[in-house]
Chain A
């Protein structure tokens, strides 16, 4: 029994160091991501370039947003490409910001707020309460705990929406409700954000937010663990260069909506159509 215990402890000490060496030799990196359509589109385009152009092997792990921040802060994964700053992920940034490295924005002009179909005749959140009946008294939200939900709760208070209720759900239930409402030409408010494929699918608009509860523009940042730049300088240089527009991202997202399509292949197809982007992103990256 003692021998067994000793062997186990020895194995515990030796195996990880072997694994660590193997990782350093190979160009292997691991990124976490959340199954948001925008995040899936971005990470797969990054993966396509890192693997096809720079010869890395990239593993992607699908997790919850909090797990993605935590795992990068503790150095368990190399990073992630969907940090919404400064507002949506403010809580995470406060908790983990000092333990991670921000490689900068991959997308600017991101935005959060309340979204309605264009046939809805009001334009501002200030008009919502007066029309509560038409909206069935509901604002369709996403996951409890998301930054967007916290901002929405604040909006409920700031605009004094006594007759409205904010419902919790998920990205999926929100888009399902939205799709159903559009089909039946019904009034609906959802908590939305750009980039999102819903804007490419239906005619939608943001409700004006005169009290600017939802903040200004957001950026989507790429965050890596400490030491990543040293271990993988080429990958880091490329990720720093990477920057595209919400419109470009939406093209990939719409392609990804097709059931059963291969996400990485969609990313490759888009890159093939945009060789100038690839060149731009790889400028100055040692090959």
Chain B
């Protein structure tokens, strides 16, 4: 059986070499623009006094979610600040924001297309299984020639890992729109795009937001892995602490990830529930 081995490893290696020889200048250029944008966001947020941001985020939490969430946000972020983890937290937040934005920008249209066209669905969904289960380590190191060390490579792998729920739930949300409603839209002579924008998407809203919410949570679960290629942020603090055998410090930084995750989760969940 093993006399002839199908050359998977060789083919992949060759493909990566070919791609990095031919497309690296382009991807590198995109990467450095993105890095500038990320730095811009991080630097901008760090210019503001932490207390101001903490209060503003807590107020947003209050308005969007509830008083409980607002209190948690306030004290949670204060704890992060107190633990001297403010800067890595802001870096992590920037990573998650960018990864989520890209995942949604690609995922939403793909989800809509696969809900409307069976052919697209048949191609896209098996790929999603692949994306979600292929261990991230596999493409983390090969991403470096394309996107360089640091946050952009990390975002690349985070997007691959975190995008599937956005696509899946967008597709599901549109498919779940009751047939009577789409038939009514057809009966009133709505065009395909009218039907999509005014009937299907609004009704699918909560499900789509649940997908976005999942994307955010998955992005956060990637931060430690992303630290292996120099993404920085809280993941880097966790990874450093673990490698230096400082379990206490690792726990403190890990707690920062948890606090950030809970805040983002509660706020985005409520956005989904309230707007529609």
Contacts and interface: CB of A to CB of B under 8 A. Distances in A.
Interface of A: 8, 11-13, 15-16, 19, 32, 34-37, 61-64, 66-67, 70-71, 73-74, 76-77, 170-173, 175-176, 259
A12 B32 CA distance: 8
Interface residues of B, number: 29
B30 to A, nearest CB: 6
A16 B28 contact: yes
B192 interface: no
B245 interface: yes
B30 A12 contact: yes
A61 B150 contact: yes
Contacts of A11: 33
6 contacts: A12-B30, A34-B243, A63-B149, A67-B144, A67-B149, A74-B144
A61 B230 contact: yes
B74 interface: no
Interface string B1-45: 000000000000000000010001010111011001000000000
Contacts of A19: 32, 36
Contacts of B150: 61
A2 to B, nearest CB: 18
B56 interface: no
A67 B230 contact: yes
B243 A172 contact: yes
Given A16-B29, A259-B246, A76 B148 contact: yes
Contact of A35 (B26, B36, B144, B239): B239
B236 interface: yes
Contacts of B244: 35, 37, 172
B240 interface: yes
Contacts of A63: 149, 228-230
Nearest to A145: B137
B242 interface: yes
B190 interface: no
A145 B144 CA distance: 19
A242 B227 CA distance: 29
Contacts of B142: 70
B145 interface: yes
B230 A172 contact: no
B275 to A, nearest CB: 26
Contact of A32 (B149, B239, B246): B149
A78 B20 CA distance: 19
